[in-house]
Structure 1
Amino acid sequence: MKIAVGIIGILLGMISMLQSCAVATGGSIAANHDLAGAGSVGVLVGLLFFVGGAFAFGLPLVSAIIFVVGSLFAFIAASAFTDMKVWAFADLILAAMAFFAWRSGRAGRIKTTEGGAK
């Protein structure tokens, strides 16, 4: 599951950053400061998607924490840029997946350790 979280996180990060760059540019051109600011926060959320996806391969718990932080930023920016709600929920789903990947990996290591000690 770690590989799936990593790949999905990296792909969603690239898509989110592309969309947020377009929104930030459009908000700047239209002199809509709220939308431009929300687009800039969206770029940060996309970067957190990307970093969380990268950490998912080796450190899934760190990845889950990064996805939760990204989700919080996305919910904050959702007032001006409503598509950020979608990215916030995607962040939460990936955080849950990364957490369960960490937990299952940890449980496997504990069983291996207990089985070898007897």
Structure 2
Amino acid sequence: MKIAVGIIGMLLGLVSMLQSCAVATGGSITSNHDLAGAGSVGVFVGLLFFVGGAFAFGLPLVSGIIFVVGSLFAFIAASAFTDMKIWAFADLILAAMAFFAWRTAPRGRIGSATGGNTK
């Protein structure tokens, strides 16, 4: 599941960064400062998607925390840029997946390197 979270997180990060960059540029062109600001926050959320996806391969708990933080920022920006609600819920889903990947990951056992008895 860690691989799925990583790949999906990085792909959604790229897509959300592209969309948010277009929204920020459109907001700047039309002098809509709220939309331009929300687009800038969206670019940051996309970066958090990407970083969370990268951490999912080795540290899924850290990845889940990053996804939750990204979701909070996305909900804040959703008042001016309504598509951010979709990215916020996607962040929460990926955070849950990363948490369950962390919970089901096999733990290292003491004594396995020295040939000790492991149960």
The equivalent of 1:91 in structure 2 is 91
1:117 Cα deviation from its structure 2 partner: 3.6
| Match status 1:70 vs 2:62 | no
The equivalent of 1:109 in structure 2 is 107
Q: Percent identity?
A: 84
| Match status 1:33 vs 2:33 | yes
Distance in structure 2 (CA, Å) of the matches to 1:96 and 1:42: 21
Decide which structure has the larger Cα Rg and report it. 2
CA RMSD of aligned residues (A): 1.6
Structure 2 portions without partners, runs of 5+:
none
Distance in structure 2 (CA, Å) of the matches to 1:109 and 1:88: 31
Q: Which amino acid aligns with 1:63?
A: S
Q: Which amino acid aligns with 1:103?
A: R
Map residues 4-83 of structure 1 onto 2, 5 A cutoff.
4-83=4-83
1:5-35 CA distances to partner (integer Å, 9 max, x unpaired)? 0000000000000000000000000000000
TM-score, length of structure 2 as denominator length: 0.92
Q: Which amino acid aligns with 1:12?
A: L
Distance in structure 1 (CA, Å) of the matches to 2:75 and 2:110: 41
1:114 Cα deviation from its structure 2 partner: 9.5
Q: How many residues align?
A: 115
1:89-116 CA distances to partner (integer Å, 9 max, x unpaired)? 00000000000000001xx327x55994
TM-score, length of structure 1 as denominator length: 0.93
Which 4+ stretches in 1 moved above 2 angstroms?
112-118
Structure 1 portions without partners, runs of 5+:
none
